[in-house]
Chains A and B, each alone.
Chain A
């Protein structure tokens, strides 16, 4: 009984990890080349709860929601695709404690389908 009380006391003293909802922006920096298609894999130790895109939401597997890994992708056939540092998607997450994010470019292309390798950036929404 004393042991149980001791354990419960210890658990009560451990600070509860803070849970918060955040959003991160994914940028693709093409270095000036027009971007017509992109595909990025995001991994984190937070819980993914939603995705926003530009003019149309990016493709993703709904099974990724509530998990920590998602593949996002989109394309456009519009005549004037964006170029330079392009905000491609915003991902909403539920963080608990310290969270790490990694984003990996899986594919990207310029008009005509020429493959390019833009630099991917992760920026906490509201940051720079």
Chain B
């Protein structure tokens, strides 16, 4: 037989992936059958020996891992919310224009917001549950208070 199987063909026969023609050839050709046997031997030698893994290591590796994703997501959402709240709230009560101090310009800024319909509860500086001109007056009074 002149048309022997090549290396890939021999290994395909060993692994059971060969075509019917390759299998038929290997059954009839002693030289190729020897080659297939040699691949069986090689494959057996390359198969890793089982490792004796200590039970506690195996348990730790195979134990179902607790997922931290929901906790991390909640923490991240909380952090973003806190940052947004700190960024948007007046840092000093009455400091509407966030200049770092409370003065008459804040009263003006709040009056303008009220006239344009921005009634954010954060501007309820006198704590009466409403945002109106009395909050503006409250800021103005704080601005001129002698300390």
Contacts and interface: CB of A to CB of B under 8 A. Distances in A.
Contact of A115 (B105, B111, B112): B105
Interface string A61-77: 10110010111111111
Interface of A: 36-39, 59-61, 63-64, 67, 69-77, 106-109, 113, 115
Contact of B103 (A60, A63, A64, A106): A106
A116 to B, nearest CB: 10
Contacts of A77: 108, 111-112, 115
A67 B111 CA distance: 30
Nearest to A64: B146
A39 B107 CA distance: 11
Contact of A39 (B111, B112, B141, B144): B144
A61 B84 CA distance: 36
Interface residues of B, number: 18
Contact of A73 (B109, B111, B140, B146): B140
Contacts of A73: 103-104, 107, 140, 143-144
Contacts of B109: 113
Q: Which of A39, A70, A115 has the most CB of B within 10 A?
A: A39
Given A77-B111, A77-B112, A77-B115, A37 B144 contact: no
B37 interface: no
Given A113-B97, A115-B99, A75 B144 contact: no
A74 B137 CA distance: 10
Contacts of B107: 37, 59, 73, 75
Contacts of A109: 105, 108
Contacts of B111: 75, 77
Contact of B146 (A69, A74, A76, A106): A69
Nearest to A109: B105
Contacts of A61: 141, 144-146
A38 B107 CA distance: 11
B135 to A, nearest CB: 14
Contact of B104 (A63, A67, A75): A75
B122 to A, nearest CB: 17
A4 B111 CA distance: 64
Given A77-B111, A77-B112, A113-B112, A63 B146 contact: yes
Given A71-B144, A73-B140, A73-B144, A59 B104 contact: yes
Interface in B119-147: 137, 140-141, 143-146
A74 B103 CA distance: 10
